[in-house]
Amino acid sequence: MKNEAGPQKGSALSLGLSFIVVVLYVLLLIPLARQAVGWYFFNRATESGLLSAGHFDSGNDTYPYLLGKLYLTDIQTPAPDKAIAHYRRSISLNPLQSGAWTELSRAYRMTGRQKEAERALERAVKLSPNDPGLMWDAGTFWITSGMTAEAFTAFRRYLLIEPDYQTMVYDLSWKLRPDNAYIFRNLVPETYEHRSKYLAYLMSAKKTVEAQEVWKTLDQGSLRQDDFIAYVNFLISNGLYEQAGEVWKEITGKIGDRERDEAASLVWNSGFEHEILNGGFDWQIRETEGVNVFLDESVHMTGRRSLGVVFDGKHNPDIAFASEVIRVIPGASYQLKGNIKTEALTTTNGVFLQVTGHNCAGLDKRSEVMTGTAFWKEALIDFDAPASCSAVVVMARRERSPKLDNKIEGTAWIDGISLRQQVSVQTSSSKKR
């Protein structure tokens, strides 16, 4: 009998273990089955499908979130109240999803529940401070709510994440609150990249006073040459010659080889010995189709190089291939000198020097036109600065020809360009008078 009981016990134990395994297997399958059924109904992408999916997989926060979105974005019959209920259900299952808080805020707004909308949006912002879309939504929401300070905080964060959209944000901020000090303090991030971009915006908007205020805040140690030149050009174009001169002197004074012999000439970089900054009070070089400008160390009248220009013989350009803005004293007399060399330069319209008023009328004088092949020849212009002129433009130029044979070919060089004020000498008879 004992021998028979042993196998029976083993069989019962085996059956018990099998039963437990089956139960555990079923328990493991139930969640998977729920998820599978949930996904089946979810893929039907309808209200009933999402409701069924949520019923079979009730612990999944996705389905109530999608139902909320479905009710909120229904074009024909939006149901924000239903959306709110489902968003809140989704958040109760997963309170860390910023998207649900954002959508809940929108639903509250649609029902006029402003305070609840604010709280929901604040929660979303805290959860996802690096989401640029959320920062933009938050900023625009607070703008429409009249909460400028909160809006600027959100936009400031947006600018740190999306620096490429600075111009758009700065333009919007000026429409909201046209106060440079407030915008600079509360919106513009404290980095060179952002401050220089804000300066560029102010210059494009022609805000001269505000641009000068922001310029003073830039880190000079991080100053880029392009930003410096653009700012000086801005001041010059607005007739702020004194301010432009001060900035020019300050910045170029920090560059070792940039100092100019003031007593020798008013022209900056008169012999093209230094790198051309292409703006400010240095030379600006322009090229066009068929015109190539270059620095030539093999040909020069003074120093170690000159500025050359090559015409390809296929075009009839009208171009000032080199120009420079120079400050002058209104009513004073000046003499402009330069040296021009030509080689096989065709057409009667060759190369010459020209001086005109900058932002003022009453001055337009030219030197002799140089053509053909000729060694270095002096070009000379005497002029009086009109009473309305505080600056002039000195140019090396070729004028378009009206003739049939007008395609210019050849090479020209300029060097040793100088501008000096002419000091009037009183005679003894004039002193007596």
In terms of domains, do 209 and 341 share one?
no
In terms of domains, do 161 and 103 share one?
yes
- Going residue by residue through the chain, which has 433 residues, state the pLDDT in tens, using 9 for 90 and above: 444 455 555 555 555 545 444 444 444 444 434 444 444 334 445 666 665 655 555 666 677 677 778 777 777 778 888 878 777 887 878 888 877 888 887 878 888 888 888 888 888 888 888 899 899 989 988 888 888 999 999 999 999 999 999 999 999 999 999 999 999 999 999 999 999 999 999 999 999 999 999 999 999 999 999 999 999 999 999 999 999 999 999 999 887 555 555 456 899 999 999 999 999 999 999 999 999 999 999 999 999 999 999 999 999 999 999 999 999 999 999 999 999 999 999 999 999 999 999 999 999 999 999 999 999 999 999 999 999 999 999 999 999 999 999 999 999 999 999 999 998 655 444 444 4
DSSP string over 391-429: EEEEEEEEPPP-SSS---EEEEEEEEEEEEEPPP---HH
DSSP string over 37-85: HHHHHHTT-SHHHHHHHHHHTTT-THHHHHHHHHHHS-SSS--HHHHHH
Euclidean distance between CA atoms 396 and 406, whole angstroms: 19
What are the tokens at 113? 């529940």
* CA neighbor of 5 nearest in space, from 13, 17, 15: 13
* CA neighbor of 364 nearest in space, from 380, 383, 347: 383
Question: What's the number of CA atoms in the CB half-sphere (13 Å) around residue 431?
Answer: 5
| Bridge partners (DSSP) listed for residue 325 | 393
Tell me if 4 is assigned to some domain. no
The total of other beta-carbon atoms located within 10 Å of residue 291's CB is 17
Q: Is the dihedral of CA 265, 270, 271, 273 positive or negative?
A: positive
Radius of gyration of the chain (CA): 38
User: What's the pTM value of the predicted model, to 2 decimals?
Assistant: 0.79
| Bridge partners (DSSP) listed for residue 343 | 411
Q: What is the CATH number of the domain that holds 67?
A: 1.25.40.10
The total of other beta-carbon atoms located within 10 Å of residue 77's CB is 6
Euclidean distance between CA atoms 258 and 256, whole angstroms: 6
Q: Torsion-angle region of residue 313: left (phi > 0), alpha (psi -120 to 50) or beta? A: left
Tell me if 18 is assigned to some domain. no
Tell me if 202 is assigned to some domain. yes
> Which residue, 252, 268, 301, sits at the end of a domain?
252
Q: What is the CATH number of the domain that holds 307?
A: 2.60.120.260
Euclidean distance between CA atoms 280 and 247, whole angstroms: 10
Range of the domain at 349: 284-421
The total of other beta-carbon atoms located within 10 Å of residue 68's CB is 28
In terms of domains, do 191 and 300 share one?
no
Tell me if 35 is assigned to some domain. no
In terms of domains, do 231 and 330 share one?
no
What is the domain count for the chain? 2
